[in-house]
Amino acid sequence: MISEKGQYGYIGIVGSNDNIDVCYLAICQYDNDKKTYLFFCDENMSVEQDQNFDNFEHAYANAQGRTKSPIIWFCP
């Protein structure tokens, strides 16, 4: 699942005062992996950071907690 473009926070760059805006979120699970991953992507949809969760529900709740509005998701 990939979110619509939005403002989902930022990622600080170590050793710099610059930040990377998180413009997209993605949630997926790899074959043969019990973890679910939440990816934080820049404006070009490049993954800048990820976080893993025990299940989809936890990843989804964490993503939704990054904005006050409901996230619109797409399943490519």
Residue ranges per domain, the chain?
2-67
Encode pLDDT of 48-67 as tens digits. Answer: 999 999 999 999 999 999 88
Contact between residue 22 and residue 48 where contact means Cβ atoms under 8 Å apart: yes
Q: The whole model's pTM is what? A: 0.90
- The amino acid sitting at 75 is C
Residue matched to tokens 């991953």: 37
pLDDT at residue 76 in the model: 78
Average pLDDT, the chain: 94
How far apart CA 38 and CA 52 sit, in angstroms, is 6
Judge contact between 54 and 13, C-beta under 8 A.
no
Region 11-22: mean pLDDT is 90
